[in-house]
Amino acid sequence: MLLQLPRRPLVLLPLLLLAACAKAPAQNLPTTPSLITPAPLLNVPQPALDFAEWRQNLRSEAVAAGIDGALFDRVFAGVTPDPAVIKADSSQPEFTRPIWEYLDGAVSASRVGRGRVLLAQHNVVLRNIEQRYGVEAPILVAIWGLESNFGNNIGSNSVIRSLATLAYEGRRQAFWRNQLLAALQILQNGDISSERMVGSWAGAMGQTQFMPTTYNEHAVDFDGDGKRDLWNSSTDALASAAHYLQSSGWKPGQPWGFEVRLPKQFDYFHADPEQRRTLAEWQALGVYPAISSKGAAVDSRATLVLPAGHRGPAFLLLDNFRSILRYNNSTSYALAIGLLSDNLLNPTEVQASWPRDERQLGRSERIELQQLLAASGFDPGPADGIIGANTRKAIRMLQLQLNEPADGYPSPELLETLRKR
């Protein structure tokens, strides 16, 4: 039995290219993306060794892991830490763009138009990829579009230099060291030369922005030229993204999710990512698709998400949305992929209005909100400015006390209420 599902939005304002990547560090694309004003630099541990000593220790580790010593010496000749990479890793945004502005650019008319052209041009390859991995073409083209503007912006940083910098003096040095060793393995396998191994400041590579460990596990040679080339072969890049999504539990033929209408007097406490119900159970609560079309079985399980609180649109998100989150753990990013993929097939619009008049809390305000929640007897987790599951749960409990819609959304009004308590 199938539930009628909606078609989804075309939003028309421009945005700068996004910087997401498969299994990238979380700071590469925040949940509410796009930096406006940088906050002061975070404390970064100072290296105990100078770079030459550190590089020699790394060489010993790399050789023990099977990396050719001559290759290591050639790749690291002249490599020095990059101060710009440390600055990018150490800073955090004070202000972020609201999700509706992010989506305006992610699903812009120009991106949709270009994506449709490429969807047609690569039709045969995409059908072969879908037959092999079960991932539909529009999703892959949407990822291609957001990750690198369809291969036009793959980054220009030396991956080896960036990763060496982060492994030497960045945060989470063990993580970056592991990525650096994986990058050396890629070079040893001969898929790319060190000079052409370029990417983002965080080491995300190619047209689908894979981290080196993800590359080693999921990159494929789909064009049959003997190399897994995510930089120059769109075929390899698209197939590798499909392989990654398949490994992340992608369910062929199932939508990622859809916009829904909520009944009057709806209990917004149900809008919790930890609450998963079948589509039939959501229907019983009065939750129905905003626009009808064919889609998922009523026994499919979904979560209800209000990305802008109860004043904005509501979405039911299915298992394939969770697979997209494995690619980049950002609700905004995954929603952009879903909406863009829908628009590559049919021009559609989000039915509900975004609360464009509402100001977003800055990072320092979010930290203050968490501190005040804790002082009021709730448990928002660490005061880190990240509005995660614990903070949203604490906000819901406060909203219930205040007899307000318990949507878990951190609004300026809620912060002001806490300041007065």
Average pLDDT over residues 86-113: 92
Q: What is the pLDDT of residue 45?
A: 58
Residue type at position 412: P
Q: What is the pLDDT of residue 26?
A: 34
Backbone angles phi, psi at 153, to 5 degrees: -145, 80
Residue 47 predicted with pLDDT over 70: no
Could you tell me which residues come within 8 angstroms of residue 76 by beta carbon, excluding any fewer than 6 positions away? 55, 59, 160, 164
Q: What is the pLDDT of residue 135?
A: 98
Q: What share of the chain is helix, strand, coil (3-state, %, to 5)?
A: 45, 10, 45
Residue type at position 5: L
Q: What is the pLDDT of residue 323?
A: 97
Residue 337 predicted with pLDDT over 50: yes
Q: What is the pLDDT of residues 353-399, one digit of tens each?
A: 999 999 999 999 999 999 999 999 999 999 999 999 899 999 999 99
Structure-token pair, residue 403: 């007899």
Burial grade of 381 (CB within 10 A; 0-12, 13-18, 19 or more): middle
Could you tell me which residues come within 8 angstroms of residue 184 by beta carbon, excluding any fewer than 6 positions away? 62, 67, 71, 72, 75, 160
Q: What is the pLDDT of residue 21?
A: 62
Rounded to whole angstroms, how far apart are CA atoms 69 and 63? 6
Residue 83 predicted with pLDDT over 80: yes
Confidence of residue 256 (pLDDT cuts 50, 70, 90): very high
CA dihedral 195, 201, 204, 208 (to 10 degrees): -90
Residue type at position 338: G
Confidence of residue 297 (pLDDT cuts 50, 70, 90): confident
Across 78-82, 96-100, 199-203, 260-264, least confident range: 96-100
Q: What is the pLDDT of residue 10?
A: 32
Rounded to whole angstroms, how far apart are CA atoms 20 and 13? 20
**Contact yes or no for 168/81 (Cβ under 8 A):** yes
Average pLDDT over residues 237-265: 97
Average pLDDT over residues 195-213: 97
Q: What is the pLDDT of residues 145-189, one digit of tens each?
A: 999 999 999 999 999 999 999 999 978 899 999 999 999 999 999
Rounded to whole angstroms, how far apart are CA atoms 277 and 84? 46
Domain with CATH 1.10.8.350 in the chain: 51-90+153-247
Residue 40 predicted with pLDDT over 50: no
Classify residue 352 by its DSSP letter. Answer: S
Q: What is the pLDDT of residue 46?
A: 62
Whole-number percent of the chain with pLDDT over 90? 82
Rounded to whole angstroms, how far apart are CA atoms 221 and 214? 14
Per DSSP, the residues of 190-211 read TSS-TTT-EE-TT--BTTTTB-
Structure-token pair, residue 23: 């299994």
Confidence of residue 38 (pLDDT cuts 50, 70, 90): very low
Q: What is the pLDDT of residue 292?
A: 74
Confidence of residue 95 (pLDDT cuts 50, 70, 90): confident
CA-CA distances (angstroms) from residue 78 to 55, 75, 82, 187? 12, 8, 12, 17
What residues pair up with 205 in beta bridges, in sequence order?
199, 210
Confidence of residue 91 (pLDDT cuts 50, 70, 90): confident
Average pLDDT over residues 254-260: 96
Say if strands 198-199 and 301-305 run parallel, antiparallel, or are unpaired.
Answer: unpaired
Nearest to 243 by CA among 330, 336, 333, 128: 128
Rounded to whole angstroms, how far apart are CA atoms 421 and 419? 6
Q: What is the CATH superfamily name and number for domain 51-90+153-247?
A: Bacterial muramidase (1.10.8.350)
Q: What average pLDDT is seen over the chain?
A: 89
**Contact yes or no for 193/199 (Cβ under 8 A):** no
Q: What is the pLDDT of residue 93?
A: 80
Rounded to whole angstroms, how far apart are CA atoms 322 and 151? 25
Length of the chain: 421
Confidence of residue 2 (pLDDT cuts 50, 70, 90): very low
